[in-house]
Amino acid sequence: MQSVYLFVDEEPYLYHGENVDMENLEYIKSINYNYFEKTSRIIYKGFKRKKDKDFAISIRLLHSHCLEHFFSILFAAIQAYDAINIWLLLYTPNDLRELIKKTQSGAPFFRKFPDVKPNWESILNKIHFGLNFFNSFPKEVILKTVAELANQFNSEAYSLEYNSIKHSLRNKFGSFQIEIGPLENKIKINGGDYGSTFRKIERLSKNNKHHLSTSKIFSHWNPGRLFSEIQILSLLISNIKNFLIAINCKRPHKIEFKLPKTEFLNDYQNLPKSELLSGKLDRWSISPNYKLIDKNELLKRIQEKFPELFKQ
């Protein structure tokens, strides 16, 4: 039997198994970094041909999925390189958000490598064995991209949009349009061709979750930029996989790190960034004199109004 300790953020665990090393390495070798790169090319090719919003929303969903996979495999490598599969079974999106927040601010968290500091540059340098992997330009662009995507991943609006698309497609495709001013002289503000509109639950009381309203959130994004970011993230996931193989293999192992081309990064930098805007223009305002009833009173009123629905 083998045992290995690991942390998920600040929560400690001890994993036991018959052959933990072999189980871990088998999982690492199965990591399919090509999935996002290949799938995005198929979707983006369809988007460029038809400019269809269904292709655009598919790119958005794939981008969100790829982003979570990148951050999860990255922090798993830093916190549990010898139990990657277990870390990935244990973590929650909240764990990722906490680790991202700490890395962005430089706050300490458990790292299985004493030489790794809580910042993106130190973490990515470790993944590439401290080699002079990046020249100044790619390193600058990739670090900036990772930091921006980390902020995006940690924003409430981003999570709400991801979940709205993923669960029951409860968002409205297409970006927002707002009209401001008198009827005879209205000004139209257009958020762009691609994006979505979705709703957020607004509690009417901190102490009573059974009374609620909603507010709108609008997103606008560029499918070309999302496609390019998926290519960058896929490349980094590939490098993380190779790093993990190298440090978990008992025998010497030839590995290969990939680097994005300068021309590609130049084009990527010129693409418009995603935007997420909250809007509460249509939120219903409750009267200050309205009495919020509790759960028991609410159930009682519903039963009184629809008695036939509660007959045994």
Query: What average pLDDT score do residues 277-293 get?
Result: 62
With a pLDDT cut of 90, the percent of the chain lying above it is: 43
Range among 64-73, 130-139, 219-228 rated most confident: 64-73
In this predicted model, which residue has the larger pLDDT, 145 or 206? 145
Mean pLDDT calculated for residue range 159-179: 66
Q: Which residues contact 134 (CB under 8 A, 6 or more apart)?
A: 128, 142, 259
Would you say residue 259 has pLDDT above 70? yes
DSSP for the chain, please give it.
-EEEEEEETTEEEEEEESSHHHHHHHHHHH--THHHHHHHHHHHHHHHHH--HHHHHHHHHHHHHHHHHHHHHHHHHHHHTT-HHHHHHH--HHHHHHHHHHHHHT-----SSTT--SSHHHHHHHHTTT---S-HHHHHHHHHHHHHHHHHHHSHHHHHHHHHHHTTT-SEES--EEEES-GGG-EEEE--SSEEEEEEEEES-TT-TT-EEEEEEEEE--HHHHHHHHHHHHHHHHHHHHHHHHHH-SS----------HHHHHHHHTSPPPEEEEE-TTPPPPPTTPPPP-HHHHHHHHHHH-GGGG--
pLDDT top residue among 170 and 224 = 224
Query: What pLDDT digit, counting tens, does each position of 89-112 carry?
Result: 999 999 999 999 999 999 999 999
pLDDT score at 52: 77
What would the pLDDT profile of 171-228 be if each residue is shown by its tens digit?
A: 666 655 555 555 566 555 555 677 777 777 777 777 777 777 777 777 777 889 999 9
Q: Which residue has the higher pLDDT, 265 or 185?
A: 265
The model carries a pTM of 0.82
Contacts of 249 (CB under 8 A, 6+ apart): 25
Is the pLDDT confidence value at 38 over 70?
yes
Rounded CA-CA distance 183/180 in Å is 9
Work out the average pLDDT over 247-253.
82
Return all residues near 70 (Cβ < 8 A) that are at least 6 apart. 233, 236, 237
Whole-number percent of the chain with pLDDT over 70: 84
pLDDT band at 244 (very low <50, low <70, confident <90, very high): very high
Tell me the per-residue pLDDT of 45-55, one tens digit each, with 9 for 90 and over.
998 887 777 78
Q: Which residue has the higher pLDDT, 247 or 167?
A: 247
User: With bands split at pLDDT 50, 70 and 90, how would you rate the model's confidence at 28?
Assistant: very high
pLDDT of residue 275: 62
Contact 222, 215 (CB under 8 A): no
CA-based nearest residue to 201, from 154, 153, 163? 163
Mean pLDDT of the chain: 83
Tokens of 109: 């968290």
Q: Report d(CA 265, CA 268) in Å as an integer.
A: 5
In angstroms, the Cα distances linking 170 to 43, 163, 202, 223 are 21, 9, 17, 20
What's the pLDDT at 177? Answer: 56
pLDDT band at 135 (very low <50, low <70, confident <90, very high): low
Highest mean pLDDT among 57-61, 117-121, 289-293: 117-121
| Mean pLDDT value across residues 231-260 | 88
Q: Check whether 159 has a pLDDT greater than 60.
A: yes
